[in-house]
Amino acid sequence: MMILMLGLLAACGSNEENNQSENADKAEVTKAFTIGVIPAQTEGEIEEAMNRLQAELSEKLDREVEISTFPDYNGVVEAMNYNQIDMAYFGPLTYVIAHEKSGAQAIVTQLIDGEPFYHSYVITNAENEWETLDEFLAESDQNSFAFGDPNSTSGSLIPSIELQDRGVFEDQENNDFKSVTYTGSHDATALSVQNKQVDAGAIDSAIYNQLVESGKVDGDQLKVIWESEKLFQYPWAVSKDTDEETITKLQDAFLSIEDETILNAFGASGFTKASNDDYESIRKAAEKQGLLEE
């Protein structure tokens, strides 16, 4: 009788363990898939697009998806680093930092006019006489300059290297300009230049074109005086432990997006697959600036 009772208890214990394991697996599958987004533009500008993207991804993944916009670039990196989000929309620089810190993996990027590239621009007010960056820098001590977020690729990293190579900039305190400021976002930079609060500023080319096309800035009041080489577009990256099935579902979901509200929020004509290798040039630039840990 005692042997029978022990057998029953063992069986119950085994069933309980199996049920707990199944419940844990089920909870993992049904847990919301969380995505963090950098503030490429002022917070709130892409709220409707993010709501639509959230709904579309939830449907395609057959799982609840939650998208949050972070107040700054570094916040998204740290959220990925501490496993607070499953996926993130990074700038190229913030991506390579996140890859170094937490193993984040790029899987998707956007297309602009069918290509996954953009540029860093330096813009000035159209009333200014400068037509090139050389002309602007000839009077650097009389002129003010604006970067975007310090962790922005096109709004800070690439133009700062260009200005360093020209011998007029080391950092915010050591430079040949009248003043150097960081506006925090691309649209804030564009408006600062348009309103003559600064003489010139660095900006993402795709966002600049989007701001002009949407009428948020007046293209007639602005002009481009410098353009960088091609930069690979902003990646959507998943945490290092993401399984291949989820990655494939995410890639398929993004590549099938046709909603104009979502696409317009990124100035995109569509999405395409991306990989870590696509950001090697940004990685080298970040290493040159000492932005990656040894």
Judge whether residue 8 has pLDDT over 50: no
For the domain with range 120-228, which CATH number is right: 3.40.50.10800, 2.60.40.1530, 3.40.50.1980, 3.40.190.10? 3.40.190.10
Using a 10 angstrom Cβ sphere, with 0-12 exposed, 13-18 middle and 19 or more buried, the burial of residue 101 is middle
- What mean pLDDT is predicted for residues 184-207? 96
Fold: same for 32-112+233-288 and 120-228? yes
**Distance from C-alpha of 287 to C-alpha of 289, rounded to nearest angstrom:** 5
Decide which of 183 and 43 is more confident. 183
Q: What is the pLDDT of residues 116-150, one digit of tens each?
A: 999 999 999 999 999 999 999 999 999 999 999 99
pTM beyond 0.75, yes or no:
yes
Q: What pLDDT band is residue 73 in, cutting at 50, 70 and 90?
A: confident
Neighbours of 214 (CB within 10 A): 12
**Distance from C-alpha of 223 to C-alpha of 235, rounded to nearest angstrom:** 28
5's tokens: 């009772």
Q: 32-112+233-288 has which fold?
A: D-Maltodextrin-Binding Protein; domain 2 (3.40.190)
The domains of the chain are located at 32-112+233-288, 120-228
Judge whether residue 2 has pLDDT over 60: no
Predicted pLDDT of residue 45: 56
Q: Is the dihedral of CA 262, 265, 268, 271 positive or negative?
A: negative
User: What is 118-149 written as a DSSP string?
Assistant: E-EEEEEETTSS--SHHHHHTTGGG-EEEES-
Q: What is the pLDDT of residues 96-118, one digit of tens each?
A: 999 999 999 999 999 998 999 99
Q: What pLDDT band is residue 47 in, cutting at 50, 70 and 90?
A: confident
